[in-house]
Structure 1
């Protein structure tokens, strides 16, 4: 526990490198934290997606002034290794400076995060209230206040202590987010198929559905909050007229909720007419009335990312998805009629009936392409969360078969952040591999995806020339038509030259 001199606490917020500079989008979680921290203090943001030497920039910031704490946003997968590097560097340069991890990884794997000597505190779930309360206690040197901070996990002489969870908050920022903390925020506007200056924005938070594999369900426990109308209009006005955005990628966890709640929001969006992309559910889109679809078209929705997950009704029930395979087929046709591209994601290679379910999914994808050839297809390997990572409301609610690897041994998840940086666990976090998937099946999946994406190049690929995409589509047509997916050597060779975009890797 330290006491930093000064009238107001200063907090350093770090977003470790996770993607390329070209794919960098606003670090929205840190912008929301900064808005909360700045009510009673000051904050600075370092974004490793643009500041590529994030360790050096962080150490430079520590040399320039004293901070009460360093908050590091951490997701699993590729962001974990740079998060560890930043944390270790901070610990070495400022041994007494508290290091706080927040975000999906410390929420889902709290004990694992706090096992590291370079992590002092973990914020579980939303941090806009918990983190400022922690910073205030640290700034005043008041350790007695720590047990009362909801959503906080911390180290103690007797081990890790988990404070009570913080109830879901529906409060949003009272003003436009402090984008100026990122330097020139226009650096984050990207050229995409939506427009020349696409901006990332989050209007709502959470999702009322409780899919067992989903980190959003684990983090928010089925809670959701839509934005007040005035806030949405305020934000769209700023993004369009101040920043110059001409299109929006809504990263809301589930944009379309209940129709009656969405209509007023769509009316505002229709006035601004900014082409947009969002996450959605098949059942929600199918339940929209024709008058609401008219608003959707006027607001210029271009693409909706829809979690189809599986053509198996049994699997959809088991993962608590709440949708049916026939709804996936129906939404593909519905989107075709309304000029919206459905970006459908599937999870193949489940732990049970692994190969059969995978082949069944391949055939289902072909049926979708027959109904709507413009449908974009994203294929992931099914990697469920450990039971301990689910939201406290959902743990042990139903008996689940233990996960086993190819040798029949129980899958043991990593116990330290360093173990999670091993390639096999990074692949697991990114839904690219699982311990029960054989090398033969993994190659089969890769080959199918290669043939599919060559036969139907994504509309999101603005880099590859049209002639190259057409050539690849023609070259892949015979394999796709005859279901000859195995070892597409000629397509792999061509891909080395053309390098088609892969949305599941690069994002929008």
Structure 2
């Protein structure tokens, strides 16, 4: 008689302990696995010695497989470290990678000798079936598990994709697997005990640069209002949360579907932050905005991306620059701070589009000075990383480096840990970016964030932010961004928070 499958789930370190939030993906996986087996979670964001603790857990208990969630960027290196340690100590134990990185770079993932299986896109059902098979517990044959990629006699096999579904747990997420869940509550701009939560998954849009589009291919699912009420009740009344950071990929979907959720949130009155789209916010009725007000939305992160209609069309964003201008005015009227992200330095018309974006940001600041600005370098997904439904749709020009040679993306996880590729994954740098433009972007960001320090910064004292704003005033007014040495010097003392690095 076979035993119920037992799985170790690992979240490799990706942030500081003080910035750690619930590993929501692993909590959802654990809820699915526990329906027919059991699981344990090790979170490297709070457990700083997670590699050794993983080995200790494997020595003390029997596991049928190890599942490792990998976002990409800075999380790849610790994912490799723990995988190599497991493979060296327990060579027969199956190692499974899931999450954004193995979904976007499946072949690169399975090129590594320390990864046996890659779960693509939504993982609850795929991982549950795989672990059941590996444990001999009435699972399907490997080739029948949708959403799985694996190695067969040295050849990588990609099973058909799995359809995205709404996978609401029957009860609460298994927060108790994290030890004391209260250690994940943090002091933020929103409150003294901000908690992370994800209500909906997916996004119905197909932006060519977005990992969510690559993961979900336009699918999106909102939770039942009863489930949201159950989770918020636990987070507020049991854990003591006083505010919520929603990690929904796109919080405001169709208004009719949102109203029941907003009604629940209005009853709890927990100040909140979310991702949103300009067009969705502009379509909300006065009645829905009243619910938004009652629910105490404080800040909405909106992907503005570019002031160029052509670029927004090419990347399949689906919004327009005039909507960005309108939404910051709308947010001002309703007391919501818009946090806008922009992508500068595209491969084509690189310098012109960057300067145009700088001027557009200034216009937004004139309309609503409270508008928060986050600037990234535009780094599109490789064609192979896009969702299979979107590949070859509206392809861009070939990506070329500064020497005019085609950009060649890494073919192994180890190559993705090289600093320039980590920067690419984090939208910090690109192969076509000149040193001159790189400095120009950094200088503009320095002047802008000193002139308008973010309200999310709770560390820098108000007097320091006022002084920095005054120091940066003349540079911002006269567009003298180059070499702001005095601001860089002052920043060494004040160390203003950068939302694109640390966020809430």
TM over 0.5: yes
Check if 1:364 corresponds to 2:360: yes
Given the alignment of the two structures, is residue 207 of structure 1 paired with residue 206 of structure 2, yes or no?
no
Question: Aligned ranges for residues 8-47 of structure 1 at < 5 Å?
Answer: 8-47=4-43
DSSP-derived class of the 1:506 partner:
coil
SS state of the match for residue 503, structure 1? coil
Give the length in aligned residue pairs.
Answer: 504
Aligned residue among 211, 217, 221 for 2:217: 221
Q: Contact (CA 8 Å) 2:108, 2:411: kept in 1 or not?
A: yes
The CA deviation string for residues 97-133 of structure 1, in whole angstroms up to 9 with x for no partner, is 0000000000000000000000000000001100010
Structure 2: runs of 5+ lacking an equivalent: none
Q: Does 1:342 align with 2:328?
A: no
How big is the shift at 1:399?
3.7
Question: Does residue 475 of structure 2 align to residue 475 of structure 1?
Answer: no
Give the whole-Å Cα distance in 2 for the aligned partners of 1:399 and 1:241: 49
- Give per-residue Cα distances to partners, 1:165-187, cap 9 Å, x unaligned: 10111121111000000000000
Q: Is the CA contact 2:200–2:222 (under 8 Å) kept in the aligned structure 1?
A: yes
* Residue 326, structure 1, aligned to residue 322, structure 2: yes
Matched, 1:386 2:382: yes
Query: What SS does the aligned partner of 2:124 have?
Result: coil
Q: Is 1:440 aligned to 2:436, yes or no?
A: yes
Structure 1 residue 6: Cα displacement: 5.7
Q: Matched residue of 2:31: which SS?
A: helix
> Among residues 311, 317, 332, which one is paired with 2:313 in the alignment?
317
User: CA-to-partner distance for each residue in 1:274-332, whole Å, 9 max, x for gaps?
Assistant: 00000000000001111111110000000000000000000000000000000001000
Counterparts of 1:93-172 in structure 2, within 5 Å, are 93-140=89-136, 145-157=141-153, 159-172=155-168
C-alpha displacement of 1:145:
1.0
CA contact (8 A) 2:342 2:375 kept: yes
TM-score, reference length from structure 1: 0.98
> Does 2:402 align with 1:406?
yes
Q: Which residue of 1 aligns with 2:282?
A: 286
Query: Counterparts of 2:167 and 2:214 in 1: how far apart (Å)?
Result: 20
- Name the counterpart of 2:176: 180
**TM-score w.r.t. structure 2 length?**
0.99
CA distance in 1, matches of 2:3, 2:138: 15
Aligned counterparts of 1:204 and 1:411: Cα–Cα separation in 2? 35
Stretches of structure 1 lacking an aligned partner (at least 5 in a row): none
2:350 to 336, 339, 354: 354
* 1: CA distance, partners of 2:497 / 2:49: 26
Q: 1:240 to 1:143 in 2, by over 3 A?
A: closer
Task: Report the CA distance shift for 1:383/1:466 in structure 2 as closer, same or farther (over 3 A).
Answer: same
Match of 2:458 in 1: 462
SS in 1 for 2:76: helix
Deviation at 1:141, TM superposition (A): 7.6
- 2:194–2:241 contact (8 Å) kept in structure 1: yes
Q: Residue 391 of structure 2: which of 389, 392, 395 is its match?
A: 395
Aligned residue in 1 for 2:266:
270
Paired residues of 2:129 and 2:140 also in contact (CA < 8 A): no
Cα deviation digits, residues 187-208 of structure 1 (max 9, x gap): 0000001000000000000000
The answer for the alignment partner of 2:238 in structure 1 is 242
- How far 1:144 moved relative to its partner? 6.7
Deviation track 1:345-371 (CA, whole Å, cap 9, x = no partner) reads: 000000000000000000000000000
Q: Distance in 2 between matches of 1:449 and 1:144?
A: 53
With over 3 angstroms needed to count, the CA separation of the structure-2 counterparts of 1:28 and 1:417, relative to structure 1, is same
Per-residue Cα deviation, 1:137-178 (whole angstroms, up to 9, x for no partner): 000087971111000000011510001110111121111000
SS in 2 for 1:433: coil
For residues 43-81 of structure 1, give each alpha carbon's deviation from its aligned partner in whole angstroms, at most 9, with x where no partner exists: 000000000011111111111111100000001100000
1:233 corresponds to: 229
How far apart in 2 are the matches of 1:172 and 1:383? 33
Counterpart of 1:22 in 2: which secondary structure? Answer: helix
In 1, Cα distance between the equivalents of 2:5 and 2:444? 54
**Post-superposition shift, 1:501?**
0.4
